[in-house]
Chain A
Amino acid sequence: MIKILSILVRNRPGVLSHVAGLVTRRGYNVESIAAGPTENPEITRINLVVSGDGPILEQVVKQVRKLVDVIRVDDLTNDQPVTGELALITVKVSGLKRAEALNVINLLSLTISDIKEDSLTVMVAGTALTVDMAVNGLKPYGIVAMARTGLVALPRPRNGKPKESKERD
């Protein structure tokens, strides 16, 4: 089982250490963690994807909620959240292989971010599934480097209003 959490925290120095340290020392399995500013520069959103069994995941939510800097925690797992991920992938290709790889790149509408004689670096953005697809598609050509941001997620707005801000008022 995995849990996708959206954690809004006060943007204080060290806040990421508090969150990351908590999940590490309590032995939770982190699939990904991504942090960045929100519409309010004083508030940071941390998207945390954790895996484990039910009771453990319940504990993750409670323990995170307990952190002083945490303003709110939303469990988006079963809420059809809007999600996205970005990855940069470098493949080492030349000759005929290069044309083949370019085919895949076009097929998946990946953006080429860098071209060298014997390598291509592409950028893929989309759902985790899209990123996985790009990774699988390029694997046969030899991925030499990859960077993934980890999942970012927002609650899916309902009736034109994000659920979250409605609750916050």
Chain B
Amino acid sequence: MKEKSKGVGPKKTAEKKTAADKKLAAVKAQASKKPVKAKTDLAGGGQGGGQVGGQGALGRVKFTPRNGAQTIVDFLESVGVDTVFGYPGGAVIPLYDALYDSKIKHVLTRHEQAAAHAADGYARSTGKPGVVFATSGPGATNLVTGLATAHMDSVPMLAITGQVSTTSLGSDSFQEADIYGISIPITKYNYLVKDARALPGILSEAYRLTDYGRPGPVLVDVPKDIQTTIVNPDNLLPDSVPLRFEKPPSPDLASVDSLIEALHVSHRPVLYLGGGATITNSGADILTLVERTDMAVVATLQAKGVFPDNHPLCLGIPGMHGSKYANLAINESDLILGLGVRFDDRVVGNVRRFAPLARVVHVDIDPAEIGKRLPVDVAVIGDLGQVLSLVLKRLPKNSRPAWRKRVAELRSTFPMDVPQSSREIKPQAAIRALSDSCKGQAILVTDVGQHQMWAAQYFQAQKPRHFLSSGGLGTMGFGLPAAIGAQLANPKSLVCLIVGDGGFQMNVQELATIAQYQVPIKIMLINNGCLGMVRQWQQFFFNRRYSQTLFDYNPDFVALAKVYGLWAESVEKSDKVTQMVKALISQKGPALLDVRVPRDENVLPMIPAGMGQTDFFETEEGAN
């Protein structure tokens, strides 16, 4: 249907409400391919939503009039979005009304933050952008932590927030918050839609941006009246300077040659993998590269699983809580080849003392990452997949038996043995038991803290996108909702969550979401009754002054989980752990195992912040 009344802008149109609205509703119901309930249309127009054309227009139906909200839902369907996480509210009622007719599955979390983390878990486990809805004001601000988490770890996400009507914008109206301004530093890009005619263009641009180049979260703030205005496809606002989604420039061949040359002459190369390796799905190429070069491999949390943890050359995570052998290998290395990494402070420590003997080669798609923290000798800017295929084409096989031997030696001299005890449960042992029971098949989600580092150290991941963790931002409360998102995205996979008693309670309300949708995640609660990581720092660096890190009260987590209908058990004795872990993962539905562990267990080895690769913290017990 064409806009007939010329010269009448959509806003003006929107203010008028005539009998044509009702007629239109009838026409829509007839003309629509999808069965549209009449109430939907009325709700769409009720807020002062647009109308299309006059009497004459009714005769020449060319399209089904869709309002802004319906346009959003149509768009999401058209790009294949199957799941949306969110929470309704006043400013998104039209959006949720449009969703009412959609085949998209909406997952109602119990808090917007959880919706954002769930969308994040969905995205991390699939590579597809996660989508989250929230209302204006408090709904939108509740997304902030989730957006920042995704931003730090380059996770593609599309957040659509409701906003007060354009007519009330900026007047401190009810549930108004400037989420556009608030989210600038924590999104890849963001929009405030002020004209319904721009909505279709913005949606497709925003969605494309989420995973274009270096992925990240994108937010679209949609005022309520935009949601109810009819969007006429024949009358859109063209973008005069549209974004050009060009293919990333091919890597500079000279820099690739320098990389090959540097690698070729190196005797002790270390491959340092980051999130870019996961995003570009480069596991197979990396395996070939390692087999051809005998490089030792360290992988950050974001890359864990890209290269199999059980490979003899895999040294696990580098940095603060990396193994001694990983950090010593870096220290002895004469070449660090960083692929899709940030040279994060938790990895590098003291910039001046990082890999003192090594040349540093850095491959990244984001030029701003090159030299951001660490000066590099060779920079290759481009898509990692492309770079790797160029490298593999030309790189000759060059085995390094001496280096292989040295790496094996380091491993055997400083083994990462699982601490054992005959009475109390060592959390590391519980995590290893989970790892063994899952046989590398599970998608493991962690929260943040000691258990996260133990999981990084002792959980063996064999596949990319099977270890999901908030690395950059370190967001407590991430785990539970992210596991929900990962499980819903991968209904047939075994999804396990390792979480502490602190982080679990930060989004514990999501047990209701788990119960409602029967999300069969398996929760291993590492329950030490304290905020272990901070407690550890207080022990090491603040003279054991445990300020506000010991919980004097914790609920009975088993009883709590049972209230929500989960299978739940507790385990306290070390000889029962394996059996209980097996019981946990053999449950059909959602399940929780409360693993009681001692308060005073520490994550070791540890290199204190800002120190060099060999400055392992020595505890009184000398256990480090």
Cβ of B561 under 8 Å from chain A: no
Q: Does A25 touch B at the CB level, under 8 Å?
A: yes
CB contact under 8 A between A68 and B243, given known A14-B180, A17-B181: yes
Q: Which of the 9-residue segments B93-101, B367-375, B383-391 touches chain A?
A: B367-375
Partner of B372, one of A21, A22, A59: A59
Known: A65-B367, A65-B368. A10 touches B181 (CB 8 A): no
B298 at the interface (CB under 8 A from A): no
- Proximity string of chain A (59-88) to chain B, C-beta cutoff 8 Å, 1 when within and 0 when not: 100110110100100000000000000000
Instruction: Judge whether A100 is part of the interface by a CB distance below 8 angstroms.
Output: no
> Which of A43, A55, A71 has a CB less than 8 Å from the CB of B371?
A55
Quick one: closest B residue to A59, CB to CB?
B372
User: Would you call B371 and A58 a contact (CB within 8 A)?
Assistant: yes
B171 interfacial contact with A, CB 8 Å: no
- Residues in B whose Cβ lies below 8 Å from that of A18: 184
Give Cα A10 to B372, complex, Å: 26
From residue A166, how far is it (CB to closest CB) to chain B in Å? 19
From the candidates A14, A43, A65, name the one contacting B192 in the complex (CB within 8 A): A14
Question: What is the chain A residue whose CB lies nearest that of B372?
Answer: A59
Q: Do A68 and B241 touch (CB < 8 A)?
A: no
Q: How many residues in A have their beta carbons less than 8 Å from beta carbons of B?
A: 20
Q: Is A140 an interface residue (CB 8 A)?
A: no
A42: interface (CB < 8 Å): yes
What DSSP secondary structure best describes chain A's contact surface? helix
Q: Which A100-123 residues sit within 8 Å CB-CB of chain B? A: none
Decide yes or no whether A95 CB sits under 8 A from chain B: no
B233 at the interface (CB under 8 A from A): no
Chain B residues in 8 Å Cβ range of A13: 192, 194
Min C-beta distance of A26 to chain B, whole Å: 9
Q: Is the CB of B241 within 8 A of A59?
A: no
Question: Is B368's CB under 8 angstroms from A68's CB?
Answer: no
What CA separation (Å) do A71 and B240 show in the bound complex? Answer: 13
Q: 0/1 per residue, B224-244, Cβ < 8 Å to A?
A: 000000000000000011010
Q: How far is the CB of B81 from chain A (nearest CB, A)?
A: 21
Q: Confirm or deny: B189 has a beta carbon within 8 angstroms of a beta carbon on chain A.
A: yes
Contacts of A22 in B (CB 8 A): 185
B-side contacts of A58, CB under 8 Å: 371
CB < 8 Å neighbour of B241 from A21, A25, A42, A55: A42
- Interface residue from A11, A55, A62 paired with B368 (Cβ < 8 Å): A62
Per-residue interface assignment for chain A, residues 24 to 55, with 1 indicating a CB less than 8 Å from any chain B CB and 0 otherwise: 01000000000000000011000000000001
B241: chain A residues at CB < 8 Å are: 10-11, 42-43, 71
* A-B contacts, 22 listed (Cβ < 8 Å): A10-B241, A11-B241, A14-B180, A14-B181, A14-B184, A14-B190, A14-B192, A18-B184, A21-B184, A21-B185, A22-B185, A42-B240, A42-B241, A43-B241, A55-B371, A55-B375, A59-B371, A62-B368, A65-B368, A66-B368, A68-B188, A68-B243
Interface, chain B (partner A; CB < 8 A)? 180-181, 184-185, 188-190, 192, 194, 209, 240-241, 243, 366-368, 370-372, 375
11 extra A-B contacts, CB within 8 A, seeds A17-B184, A55-B375, A68-B189 = A11-B241, A17-B181, A58-B371, A59-B371, A59-B372, A63-B368, A65-B367, A65-B368, A66-B368, A68-B209, A71-B241
